[in-house]
């Protein structure tokens, strides 16, 4: 057994153990969990809404890079053997008529309301955080053990069918002399949001107070650091709100689906 194979088995094991913990009710943000294993955003919609959403994702690939789509009614995914999409995420949101109806740790009951749910798993910027760390670039919310800060913006996505809405971004403060490296490294992962959509100048994105994120937790910004913004997989939730979608189940921001797929799979 080689060291590489050992590490791979350990990483998959960590992912499986994390999913089992979440399935049994443990609730915490997933940043830093099962390092090297891809995490994903989730949105489940009735079949009638699936085409419009898949098109919305195609038209907004930086915000909504689709990693897998389940068949209607299926709660499994090729991204994680034996996973149950109804229970294996730490925290879910149930949406009704475009509004957040409840947060639950087990979405089985919501799932049972619609036998034809189609589930979309969408890339998450956590995937390029391990390469950032390996390059010696600090990721503040990992250092501080908090959720990543996320913000709604004034940047509209390209609409598709009944879907419209603004782009949501995640933010990481990066030392000015490492911003280019962070852009280059994340750019090698286009399936998980790729390079930043905006660097510095939060007001131009319509963000007036970095200390008050719309989702997740605020993070320290130290002298010499620049706020760097990446498109975020919470964008579909903004679209659910803006479009008045009658029913959806999503993950809660920062509480992701931990897959068995190595981050390196999405490296180009």
- Sites of contact with a copy of itself (CB under 8 A): 50-51, 54-55, 58-59, 66, 69, 187-188, 190, 194-195, 268
Q: Facing residues of 262 across strands?
A: 37
Count of beta carbons in the 10 Å neighbourhood of residue 27: 13
Residue 130 or residue 195: which is nearer to a copy of itself going by CB? 195
**Antiparallel, parallel or unpaired: β 247-251 and 37-46:** antiparallel
Residue 112 or residue 135: which is nearer to a copy of itself going by CB? 135
Tokens coding 243: 């479009």
- DSSP 3-state assignment of 230? strand
- DSSP 3-state assignment of 89? coil
Count of beta carbons in the 10 Å neighbourhood of residue 158: 12
CA–CA distances in Å: residue 164 to residues 13, 93, 94, 157: 39, 19, 19, 7
Residue 54 or residue 252: which is nearer to a copy of itself going by CB? 54
Smallest gap from Cβ 53 to a copy of itself, in A, equals: 10
Smallest gap from Cβ 58 to a copy of itself, in A, equals: 5
Smallest gap from Cβ 66 to a copy of itself, in A, equals: 5
Smallest gap from Cβ 130 to a copy of itself, in A, equals: 19
Residue 119 or residue 147: which is nearer to a copy of itself going by CB? 119
Distance CA 226, CA 222 (A): 9
CA–CA distances in Å: residue 72 to residues 6, 69, 113, 149: 36, 9, 13, 32
- DSSP 3-state assignment of 187? helix
Residue 35 or residue 187: which is nearer to a copy of itself going by CB? 187
Going by C-alpha positions, the residue among 55, 93, 65, 4 that lies closest to residue 193 is 65
Residue 58 or residue 154: which is nearer to a copy of itself going by CB? 58
Smallest gap from Cβ 148 to a copy of itself, in A, equals: 23
Residue 161 or residue 224: which is nearer to a copy of itself going by CB? 161
Q: Facing residues of 118 across strands?
A: 45
Q: Is the Cα torsion angle 78, 71, 66, 63 positive or negative in sign?
A: negative
Smallest gap from Cβ 234 to a copy of itself, in A, equals: 20
Smallest gap from Cβ 268 to a copy of itself, in A, equals: 5
């Amino acid at each position: 057994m080689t060291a590489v194979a050992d590490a791979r088995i350990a990483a998959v094991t960590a992912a499986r153990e994390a999913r089992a913990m979440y399935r049994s009710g443990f609730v915490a943000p997933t940043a830093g969990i099962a390092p090297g294993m891809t995490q994903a955003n989730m949105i489940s919609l009735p079949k009638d809404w699936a085409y419009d959403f898949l098109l919305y994702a195609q038209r907004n690939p930086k915000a909504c890079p689709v990693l897998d789509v389940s068949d209607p009614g299926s709660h499994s995914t090729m991204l994680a053997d034996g996973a149950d999409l109804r229970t294996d995420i730490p925290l879910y949101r149930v949406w009704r008529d475009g509004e957040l109806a409840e947060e639950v740790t087990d979405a089985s009951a919501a799932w049972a309301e619609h036998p034809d749910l189609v589930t979309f798993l969408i890339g998450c910027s956590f995937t390029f955080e391990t390469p950032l760390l390996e390059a010696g670039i600090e990721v503040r919310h990992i250092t501080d053990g908090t959720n990543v800060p996320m913000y709604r913006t004034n940047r509209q996505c390209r609409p598709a069918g009944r879907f419209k809405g603004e782009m949501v971004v995640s933010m990481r403060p990066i030392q000015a002399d490492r911003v280019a490296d962070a852009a280059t490294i994340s750019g090698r992962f286009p399936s998980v949001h790729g390079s930043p959509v905006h660097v510095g100048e939060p007001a131009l994105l319509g963000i007036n107070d970095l200390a008050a994120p719309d989702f997740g937790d605020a993070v320290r910004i130290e002298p010499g650091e620049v706020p760097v913004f990446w498109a975020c997989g919470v964008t579909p939730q903004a679209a659910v709100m803006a479009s008045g979608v009658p029913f959806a189940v999503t993950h809660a921001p920062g509480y992701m689906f931990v897959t068995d797929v190595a981050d390196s799979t999405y490296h180009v």
